[in-house]
Structure formats: C-alpha cells, structure tokens
C-alpha cells in the first residue's frame, strides 16, 4: 500500500515559530557540537554589533604659535631664531611633519604703518629642509637678501614673523597662528673684518685683524660699536659659538688647552636706530695652541762648600706648569757643562764631583712641562779646599 504524500510544514503569520531544538532535530546531517559553535559565534557577533559607537572624526593637528622669535641682521642676511612648537592647539603632541614659513613686509622710514600691515610669504621650508638648521629644539635659519633687495630696502623698517603648519586630509594645510612680530631697521652695516690672524701668545691665543672702513653700500664707516668673536673646536660652519665682545683688536683668548686646535671668526658691530647690526663673518683663522714660552730664570742661587761637596740652593719658581731644573757648572773660561742628567724636582743640589783646590761657577735653569727651558740664573761662584 502506498504512503500518502507528506504535507509541507508552514507557519501562520500569527503563529509562534518553533524552537531551535526543532531545527537541530530536523537536521540530522550536522553534528550537535557544530550546532552549538555556530550559535555561540552568532551571539558574539550580534553582541559586538550592538556596542559599536558612532565613527570618530580624524584628529586636527594645528600647531601652536611660535612665541620666542628673534631676528638679527648679519651682513646681507637676517638670522631667525625660535623654538619649534611641540604641541598642537588641542594640547597633545604633534605627530605630523612640520613645515615652516617666513613672512616679511617693509615700510619706508618716516611713514606710518597701516592698521594691518600685510606680510607676504618669503620662504617656506619642508621638514627635510629645516632639519639641517636645528640646534636642539631651536631653529637657527639665515635668510639672505639679494644685493638688489638690500639696495631697495636699505633703511626701511622690516616686519617679520614665522608660522608653522602640518598637512591634514587631502594635504590641506593646517597653519598655526602668526608668531610674535619683529620690527627691524635694515642697516647699512660694515663690510666684513679683513686680515684676521690667530697666533700663540704666552698662556693665550692672540687675535689681530684690520678694522673695516666702509659700509656694505661703500659709504665711509664713521663709528663701530665693537666686535663679536666666535670660536669653534671643529671648524664646521654650525659649530661656532659666541665667545665675547671687544671694543678693539687685538684680543687675547686665555681660556684654551695646550695642544688643541681652535677656529675663530669675527664680526664688526654697528649700532643705529636703537638696534645692532653685524657685518658678515670674517674669514676663518685657525691655530693650534702650543706652549713655546719658557719659565722665568731661577733667582737667589747660592753655592756653599762643605767637606767633599758643593751645596747649591735657590728660590723655587712659581709657574704652575713647572717640571723641574737643570744645573750647569764650569771652571775658569771653559763652557758650562750640565751636571744633572735628569730634572731636579726641588731647588737644591749637592755636587760631590768637585775636586779640592778648584774654583767653580754654577748656574741653574727652569724647565716647564712642554720642555721649554729658561735662561740661566746668575752665577754663583765657590772655591773648594
């Protein structure tokens, strides 16, 4: 007898759906453990989707403004110094590469500045360009004026500022607020110092140079405010540091180490309109500090005969680099002979090589740590018995 066809199970619109166990029991081809794994994974995914919040906008890294800009004139160049910002305006640390922009405007002397002087972009530097000018956290950048620019703007009042920026979505610039503004008269500064030489002096290095007599525009130079001296121990352009100011040459640098090489540059200073401007750098003078100066000759030498020997005594030298003394002796008109093979550390000597019934004359010299020997002391004469 044939079995009647099975009716298809359908659910009414308002009926309750069957439990999951019903489907699992109807699906005999899937193992029970696999059913539970599928269900657990589905529940985890549903839970995760339920806690997802709204998408967050990307962070805007707009740099803080530079606040410590300073500018000084050095010949045809303007030397900018300032600290690069480390934080964005949201107070968090910058992570995007910085770019640096320099702005300037000029106003002729005797004119009144407009309420809002428009500054134009002068120089812009990418990250790979300004890093070579970084000194710690400060940027030191020399912006050069062409001879034409210098001639046209000489005597005018320059207004200068810097800004930094990062790049946001689609490389859109995110620029900082302007830095503090600098107003700087562009002076007709002296021409560079010429004929700078550095020579070894006693316990110092002596610098000499020729005073400039003209300005950059060729006018006679009436007065100078002095000179600035810079020194380096490597000679690399970025390694020079300010040493001191002096009113006139020559100058003695006594803060040196014997045997070390030093490099020097000098600038002439002009003071006008309440500001100072420097000439360009002189040529570099190189010198190695060497001690070529002997100690003073010893004084107070006395010679006293005692049985079988002559006792020598003299006043001790006071040089801090004193190494010791040599003693010399001669008879009659003969040349002096050194009687000490090694340096004497103290100012006394017993000469037991004398012969009885002779007349001797003694001298001593002082020697420093560099091997420089002084002139001989005055003679001390003695007769043996």
Indicate if 261 and 334 belong to the same structural domain: no
Among 185, 218, 237, where does a domain finish?
Answer: 185
Q: Is residue 349 part of a domain?
A: yes
d(CA 340, CA 17): 122
Closest by Cα among 306, 318, 305 to 362 = 305
Q: Are residues 82 and 148 in the same domain?
A: yes
d(CA 325, CA 366): 5
Looking at residue 91, the DSSP 8-state letter turns out to be S
Does residue 144 sit in the same domain as residue 199? no
Counting the structural domains of the chain, the total is 3
Same domain, 220 and 177: no
Q: Are 329 and 266 in the same domain? A: no
At residue 36, φ and ψ (nearest 5 deg) are: -65, -35
Burial of 251 (C-beta count, 10 Å sphere; 0-12/13-18/19+): buried
Residue 326 and residue 308 share a domain: yes
**CATH number of the domain to which 232 belongs:** 2.60.40.10
Q: Do residues 201 and 181 share a domain?
A: no
Q: Computed from CA positions of residues 33, 34, 36, 41, in that sequence, does the dihedral angle turn out positive or negative? A: positive
- pLDDT at position 182, please? 96
Does the N-terminal peptide bond of residue 250 adopt cis geometry, omega within 30 degrees of 0? yes
Question: What distance in Å separates the CA atoms of residue 231 and residue 224, rounded to the nearest whole number?
Answer: 21
Q: Which domain holds residue 141?
A: 70-185
Long-range contacts of 13-17 (CB under 8 A, 24+ apart): none
Q: Is residue 376 part of a domain?
A: yes
* pLDDT, position 56: 67
Please report the pLDDT score of residue 30 as a whole number. 43
Q: What's the pLDDT at 162?
A: 98
| Ranges of the chain whose pLDDT falls below 70 | 1-53, 56, 110-116
Domain final residue pick, 255, 288, 321: 288
**Order of strands across the sheet with 359-368?**
337-338, 322-330, 359-368, 380-383
Q: What local confidence, expressed as pLDDT, does residue 47 receive?
A: 52
Question: Do 180 and 222 fall into the same domain?
Answer: no
40 within a domain of the structure (yes/no)? no
Same domain assignment for residues 270 and 308: no
Q: Does residue 270 sit in the same domain as residue 307?
A: no
**What residue has token string 């309420």?**
115
Tell me, yes or no, whether 204 lies in a domain: yes
Name the 3-class secondary structure at 55: coil
**Pair (164, 244) in one structural domain:** no
Residues 6+ apart with CB under 8 A from 195: 208, 209, 210
Query: Measuring CA to CA, which residue among 268, 289, 271 is closest to residue 280?
Result: 268
User: Tokens 């690399």 appear where?
Assistant: 236
Final residue belonging to a domain, choices 288, 319, 340: 288
Do 213 and 169 have their domain in common?
Answer: no
């Amino acid at each position: 007898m044939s079995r009647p066809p099975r009716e298809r199970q359908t659910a009414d619109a308002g009926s309750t759906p069957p439990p999951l166990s019903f489907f699992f029991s109807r699906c005999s081809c899937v193992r029970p453990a696999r059913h539970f794994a599928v269900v657990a994974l589905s529940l985890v995914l549903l839970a995760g989707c339920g806690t997802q919040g709204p998408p967050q906008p990307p962070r805007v890294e707009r740099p803080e403004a530079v606040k410590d800009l300073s500018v000084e004139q050095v010949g045809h160049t303007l030397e900018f110094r300032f600290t690069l910002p480390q934080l964005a305006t949201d107070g968090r640390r910058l992570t995007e590469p910085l770019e640096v922009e320099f702005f300037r405007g000029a106003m002729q002397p005797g004119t009144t500045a407009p309420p809002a002087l428009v500054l134009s972009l002068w120089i812009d530097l990418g990250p790979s360009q300004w890093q070579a000018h970084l000194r710690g956290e400060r940027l030191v950048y020399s912006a050069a004026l062409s001879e034409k620019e210098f001639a046209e703007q000489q005597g005018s009042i320059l207004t200068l500022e810097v800004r930094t920026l990062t790049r946001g979505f689609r490389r859109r610039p995110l620029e900082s607020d302007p830095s503090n503004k600098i107003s700087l008269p562009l002076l007709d500064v002296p021409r560079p110092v010429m004929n700078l030489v550095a020579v070894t002096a006693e316990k110092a290095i002596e610098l000499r140079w020729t005073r400039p007599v003209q300005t950059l525009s060729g006018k006679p130079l009436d007065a100078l405010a002095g000179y600035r001296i810079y020194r380096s121990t490597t000679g690399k352009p970025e390694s020079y540091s300010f040493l001191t100011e002096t009113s006139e040459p020559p100058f003695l640098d006594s803060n040196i180490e014997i045997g070390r090489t030093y490099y020097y540059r000098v600038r002439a200073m002009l003071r006008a309109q309440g500001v100072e401007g420097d000439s360009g750098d002189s040529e570099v003078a190189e010198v190695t500090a060497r001690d070529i100066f002997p100690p003073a000759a010893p004084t107070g030498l006395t010679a006293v005969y005692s049985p079988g020997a002559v006792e020598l005594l003299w006043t001790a030298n006071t040089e801090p680099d004193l190494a010791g003394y040599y003693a010399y002796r001669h008879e009659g008109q003969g040349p002096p002979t050194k009687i000490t093979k090694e340096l004497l550390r103290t100012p006394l000597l017993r000469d037991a090589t004398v012969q009885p019934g002779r007349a001797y004359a003694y001298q001593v010299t002082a020697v420093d740590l560099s091997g420089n020997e002084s002139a001989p002391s005055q003679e001390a004469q003695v007769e043996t018995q």
